[in-house]
Amino acid sequence: MIAKITKGARAGGALRYDMGRGHREEHVNPRVVGGSVPGTPQQIARIIDRHNRRRPDVARPIWRCSLSLPDEDGVLDDERWGQIAEQYVGRMWGPDVPWVAIRHGDDHIHLTVSRVRWSGTLASDSHDYARSRPIVRALEAEHGLTNAEERSDRVAPQVSGRERAAAQRRGAERPEREQLRDLVRAARDASAGGGRAAFETALAEAGVTYRANVARNGRMSGYSFSLPGWTDGEGEQVWAAASRVSRDLRWAQLDTVLGRPDPRIAYALPRPEQAAAVDQAPEVEAAPSRELPFLPGVSAAAARSRSTTAGPPRRPPGWSAGTAPGAAPHRPGQQPGGPGRGQGRGR
């Protein structure tokens, strides 16, 4: 079950839509299936809007939610929908809010709830999306309905009811985009590492029609897919961009799977001439490693790097050239390791 939440100012407009014909005259037999406000839909709307005037400080007191079911759950009767609506509203808002549930289709209902409680206090809509999710999951389990989160493919754009109906009119077993999703993913997996040629061969073998979208500069930007017999009302072939089939089929993702190294790690891969030089280099016995003293907070690799690249070690305090074996004698007034005062470079 999927819950879609919106908010508004007046119940009158919401109920006029619910009880009307719909944008495409798709509403069939609109009727009340639950609620806490008596009367006809027109009377219910007037009662709720008049009640909301008690809180003129609230700009959008109307909370709307549609609860819809997938095809797998079949068609529930009005009594069952009324139970689901009452349980949902009660767990979201408690028992003391004005609300009504309208049904005008087989697979969903519309809830209109006033956040102004009968007592006049305001029900907070803070985190309402987060609060709704576990309530919906619990109702699915209690009523033996399909878990919408497990069913939904978050990577793939969902197929609308209009698209499903059009596919049925064409006699398709499933909507074409759902078929393409499975077929193109299978072709991608079968041709992994084989490049575009292998991928396009796999598409053709699966019966998928494709178009490569190449810019004038020769840069590949992705594919569009179709199936034989997928045409619109005028008989024109229908094409679906890869991102409309599934976001993991966009060229940025496909290109990586089909063989080009991921640009995020390409810099770490050896160039061909480097790899050849390594293969042809004679084997040399590694020199014994020198033990390095432990330095707190410094890795062994970092310590080894310091020992080979940092130059000669620093001279300890009190060191002079005269203390080193074979060094020139130290003259009075001369700085250790350099000319004396007044000698060499002037100040």
Q: Is 271 exposed, middle or buried (0-12, 13-18, 19+ CB in 10 A)?
A: exposed
Q: What is the mean pLDDT of residues 279-298?
A: 45
The beta strand positions in 115-214, using DSSP E, are 209-214
Buried b (16+ CB within 10 A) or exposed e, 199-209: bbebbeebebe
Give the list of residues 6+ apart from residue 284 with CB closer than 8 angstroms, or none. Answer: none
290 versus 80: the higher-pLDDT residue is 80
CA dihedral 157, 25, 32, 140 (to 10 degrees): -20
| Residues 142-193 pLDDT 10s | 999 987 766 655 556 677 777 888 888 888 888 898 899 889 999 998 888 8
| Residues 230-264 pLDDT 10s | 988 888 999 999 988 988 899 988 988 887 544 43
CB atoms within 10 A of CB 17: 18
pLDDT for 308 beyond 80? no
| Residues 46-82 pLDDT 10s | 999 999 999 999 999 999 999 999 888 889 999 999 9
Q: Are 130 and 151 in contact (CB under 8 A)?
A: no
Q: What is the mean pLDDT of residues 102-126?
A: 94
Q: What does the alpha-carbon distance between residue 140 and residue 92 come to, in Å, rounded to a whole number?
A: 15
| Residues 10-49 pLDDT 10s | 999 999 999 998 877 788 899 999 999 999 999 999 999 9
